[in-house]
Structure formats: C-alpha cells, structure tokens
Amino acid sequence: MPSSWPGFVEPDPTPQQVIAGLHATVEGGEDLVQVLTPEGVRVAEPRFDHYLTDIDVDGLKAFYRDMVLVRRVDREANALQRQGQLGIWVPLLGQEAAQIGAGRAMAARDMAFPSYREHGVAWCRGIDPTELLGIFRGTDQGSWDPAETGFHLYTIVIGNQCLNATGYAMGQRFDGKVGEASTGEATICFFGDGATSQGDVHEGFVWSAVYDAPVVFFCQNNQWAISEPLERQTRVPLYQRARGYGFPGIRVDGNDVLATLAVTRWALEECRTGNGPVLIEAFTYRMDAHTTSDDPSRYRLSDELELWKLKDPIERLRVNLVREHQVGQDFFDGIAAESDELAARFRAYCVAMPQPGPERMFSEVYAESAPVWDRQRDEYLAYHASFQAPEEPLAGSSISAEEPLAGSSISAEEA
C-alpha cells in the first residue's frame, strides 16, 4: 500500500494505535465531505457544489419537512412497540439526513435495496409509512410493489441485500441500461457498518467490481454494530475498503443532508454512465437502540450520545434556514402540526389493522400452489380449527351452555 494514501498506517500497529486512529475520526476525518456544518453554516465543497445548484430555500424546506415527518413516524412506531402494538421496531433516530439525502438523490428509474432501517428512503420512494407496519406487526412481509416504487422489500438477514442488489445491477448492465447519465439506470444498496463484517457484503463487492455493476453501496456507519463499536469491526476507515476491490470509496457527513445528496448524486451518476460501483460511507450515529429489544445503556456511555446530539441533522438544517434564509417560526410550527397529524393517522391505522387468519402463512409463501402444499394447508387448518370452542354441549354432558356451572351462581353467558 503506498504510504501517500490517506489514512495509511505502518504495518503491524498496536491495538492501542488502531483504536486511537479510529477514535480520531469522530469528526469524520480530513476526507469527510461536508457542506453544512453542525452549526448550520454552509461551506464550500468544490468537488460537489455543482450537484446542489438546483437546491434553493424551498428545497431546503422540503428536506427539513422530510426529516421531521420521518422522525415523527419513527418515534410513534417506537411508542407503539412499547405499548404492545408492534412486535419490534428498528429506530432510525439520528440517521434521517443520510436516508433522506440518499433517497432524494435517486431517479425514478433507479432501484433501492434496503436493510430493515431505511424508513426514510421508503418515504422518499413514495411509500406511505403505514405500509411498513405489517412487517413489524407480523402480518405481512411488506405490502408495496418493488417494481412500481423502485424500492425492494426490507431484508432482515444482515447483508443479504448486497447480493440481491449486485445481481439486479448486473442485470441492468446486461440489459444495456447504463451508458448515459440522463437515461441510464443505477442501483443503490443500504446497509450498516456491522454488515461489512458479513461475507455477503464482500461477495457483493467482488461481483460488482468484476462486472462493473452500476451499484452504489451505501453504508450507514452509525458507529455501533448492535453492541460492537466500530473499532471492533475494522482497522481502517470503512470507505477505504473499496480500494481493495478496485472501485472508489468516499466518506460523507451522514448528518448533513446536503452533502449526502450531492455525494449520492455523484455516485449514482458514476454508475449510470458505466463507471462501475461506488462505496459511500455515511458517517452518522444511531441515537437510539439498535432495535426495541436492545438496551444501548449496557454498552455505550451517555456522554457519547450527548456529543452526537450536538450534530443532530434536523437541528443543523433548522439553524441554517433561520440564520441564512430568515425562515420564520410559522413554517416550523406548520411542519410540527403536520407531523402530529401524520403520527395520529399512523397510530390509528396500526391499532385498527386486521388480524390475518392462519391460512396466511401458506398463501404468501409460493407464487403458485402445489398439491403437497395444499394438503399441508388443509391438514393444518383442520387441526387449528379443532381448538375452537364447540357451539354445542360435549357428547355425554348433561350441562348446557346456558345452565349454571356447578358451585356457581352465575351462568356461562353471564360470565
């Protein structure tokens, strides 16, 4: 490895040197792409500013609205799980800018492959938040049409979506759908820093590089792979891993919605024009638990969370709108009211969702039925029905359903 490469360290560093080097990237390092500082100040970024020339104050307001509404849905879903209405929920708190920036960078003809946390990207692809509920309530595997929305169903197996995305992108190349920036197609695949330790991710990297597949690998580095910190995952910054596979990698401030938008637009353009895959490391932080079954207080310090709260993606855009564009309080109050209305609709929909019958586990497995599956279904449903309370008295019983039970002064009907 040439010693002039950014982030280069001498061979065989001590464990202390490795950890110290990774901790030094708490601000993202010198290679971090940023156009909106944590204080809300717009700064020049010569490499990517031309990807933002169409973003005026109305565009900034739209991004603010996106992030506020997505966060409100996320907080409502978290509460619904705590109240027993959802089996589990996967929070995105703190990662709104990474998801909205990347989601809004996509063209309608592009395809996204999410993990299980991309609620913000789903929002950008026109999927109503209520359509996410079935997955976490256990009533379906996703109710939207991936072909129509350009957004694949959620993937629960860690990293598996990278193989799916690579295969889909290879198909785009084989079908001649790359070559022109204005008409070409691209694929974008979302995963977390923990997934980079999975073999599926590396296999996706290898195949996409060999076939110049038009796929953007978008890693949301939220610093924690459940309870394992980043320094237990890698000895170099994640974006530098792309070099080992022969394609470019870049690190962007994942709490900066504008920088994320610009970098993702660039990466997708690279893919659409036939230049092969790109790895984006969105440097961000998960400010809540990995899922609602996780307790982050067991493995990370509260002062770390407080540090990242100062880099909140929504707050930095709000400050920019106020200081640099003189946006008044009425706008922010209107968005807050809209978010409350969305949360109320989201909650009402969740609580009123019908409970699917036991036949659902058979009807949604195979595209076409077969006699063996039909026989298994019929046998199971008959077995399931045998547990239902009989409408008539049991054979040999002299007690009717309307007669009082022995030793009781009330009837079964009254009970």
Name the residues annotated as catalytic: 286, 290, 299
What contacts 232, CB < 8 A, 6 or more positions away? 225
Distance between CA atoms of residues 313 and 92, nearest Å = 12
Segment holding 65, helix H or strand E: helix 57-82
SS3 labels along 141-167: CCCCCHHHHCECCCCCCCCHHHHHHHH
Cβ-contact 28, 34 below 8 angstroms: yes
- Measured CA to CA, the distance from residue 66 to residue 96 in angstroms comes to 8
**Residues 6+ positions from 220 with CB-CB distance below 8 Å:** 95, 98, 99, 117, 190, 191, 192, 193, 254, 282, 284
Q: Decide if 255 contacts 316 (C-beta within 8 A).
A: yes
What's the token pair of residue 353? 């969702």
Element (H, E) at 202: helix 199-210
**Per-residue tokens: 338:** 């809209």
Distance, C-alpha 407 to centroid of its chain? 58
Please, is 380 exposed, middle or buried when counting C-beta atoms within 10 Å of its C-beta (0-12, 13-18, 19+)?
middle
- The token pair at 255 is 């709490």
Distance between CA atoms of 68 and 158, rounded to whole angstroms? 28
